[in-house]
Structure 1
Amino acid sequence: MELTAGDVIELGDTGVRVVAVVAGRRSPGVEAVLRAHLAATAGVPADDVELDHACAECGARHGSPTVRYPTTPSGGRWFADAAVGGGVVVAAVGTRRPLGVGVEPALPDVAPIVDEVALHPEERQRLEALDAAARPLVRAALWARKAALLRALGHTGVIEPSRIAVSLPGEDDGVGRIVRTVPEFGSRWDEVRIHDVPVPGRLAASVAMLPRP
């Protein structure tokens, strides 16, 4: 597949480039979109892109993939990830910071147990304080932010999402931060940034960026 410059979203001065592709019956899958986006950004053929989905610590397929090829002109790493939700594929690539992508639908009705598993008590309290009509999209944004964060973390992503809290969408200009952390995140958790990405439909999408390696 081919992606044009008009498809690309630049996330401020982060150097991260994002595409959102509406998936149809004959549209390419998540992997194909990610390969095409990385290839177009790096200036290499899509067939040459090498992605390793195996976790470096346990070998399981979780978290964002490791880009084996291409490398940057100086021999540095590319970071890349993609996710799909509600028929939209979101892919992000960059060279500065490890990243992860999350896409979540805004559901009108959610069982309380789902929020208990996914959201920190502070997040649940603030969500309940919102107008009922606004709640589904804000909930989806919180879920997307956490999904992106845990994919960026990879193996550490086995942490229960309810143990951490992120800033509330709508109060941070679309760039989320961790506001309640866990010891597993170490001392640089305050450098994490989670950028919301505009997508069509009743969906929320985010790209999480970890501190520089």
Structure 2
Amino acid sequence: MRDPRAPHGDAIRTAPPLMPGVVHLWVLHAEWPGVVEGLGCEGALGTEETARAAAYRSPRDRQTYVVAHLALRSLLSAYTGIAPDRLDLGRAPCPRCRGRHGPPVLRSVPAHAPYFSLSHSHGLAVVALAASPVGVDVQRAVREESALRCLGALHPHERQQLTELNGHQLALGFGELWVRKEAYLKGIGTGLCRGVAADFLGAPTPAAPPRPEGWSVHNVPLPHAGHLAATALRSTAPHRTVIHREATRTHRPTRPAPCTPEGTRT
């Protein structure tokens, strides 16, 4: 029996208006009963999406990928008026090798189509839509030892700020920084090909260098135990993130993931 609280097609097809400076973030639990059926059958996915879903070894990771992409198609359909299974979704070329494994893109884009980004990690899928280029990232929380191992990859000023923390605060600070970085790198279209040390996205203190010009990046509080998220929007002013279709449930304790968790590919 389908969970009556799970997102369903009629609800997700209600497209909120896109305003400048606002990111609409849709959060879905891939493990909720009936969530796939509520978004539409897997037949709505394209050939590339079906192949990528089949490549996941973990059934949980595969389900999360499917939910993220079905939700994206349902939402884009609401804004464009094109049926989910007729949307021409593909992959952008990789900025480094030009291979077709960059972020998802909508080919033959209608003039009124929104900008979008999606991410998924360990059972949680998020889709961000906005009126200007946008990026989103969600990750499972990291351990202190994982954060310590990864500090060397960061911008020098970010490393300096994080080394002033320890224990839980270090793990939290690193995790929040990491999702900000990935959200920004998705927003500009490069992903991790650009390198995580290229831009400063740490705390904006007087002694710190400026954050990337023309972009607003901030963390998004999620009432989902063990997950961190952030959104990035091309904007000259701080942006606002509005969460839709929140799907909360009681979480069992989970083992925190390493600094680059599995299951976060888009």
Alignment correspondent of 2:233: 209
Task: Please report how far the alpha carbon of residue 13 of structure 1 lies from its aligned counterpart in structure 2 after TM superposition.
Answer: 5.1
Q: Distance in 1 between matches of 2:112 and 2:75?
A: 18
The structure whose residues are more often strand, as a share, is: 1
1:96-175 equivalent positions in 2, closer than 5 A: 97-108=132-143, 109-110=145-146, 112-117=148-153, 119-155=154-190, 158-168=193-203
Equivalent residue for 1:79, pick from 115, 131, 151 = 115
Larger relative contact order (CA 8 Å, sep ≥ 6): 2
TM normalised by structure 1 equals: 0.73
User: Any conservation in 2 of the 1:10–1:17 contact (CA below 8 Å)?
Assistant: no
Unaligned runs of 5+ in 2: 1-7, 32-59, 237-266
| Inter-CA distance 156–145: structure 2 relative to 1 (3 Å threshold) | closer
User: Any conservation in 1 of the 2:161–2:202 contact (CA below 8 Å)?
Assistant: no
TM normalised by structure 2 equals: 0.60
Q: How many residues are paired up?
A: 191
Asked if 1:193 is matched to 2:212, the reply is no
Unaligned runs of 5+ in 1: 173-177, 182-188
Percent of paired sites with the same residue? 24
| Inter-CA distance 18–156: structure 2 relative to 1 (3 Å threshold) | closer
Alignment correspondent of 1:21: 28
CA RMSD in angstroms comes to 3.3
Query: SS where residue 206 of structure 1 aligns?
Result: strand
Q: Distance in 1 between matches of 2:192 and 2:18?
A: 23
Aligned letter for 1:66? V
Q: Whose Rg is larger?
A: 2
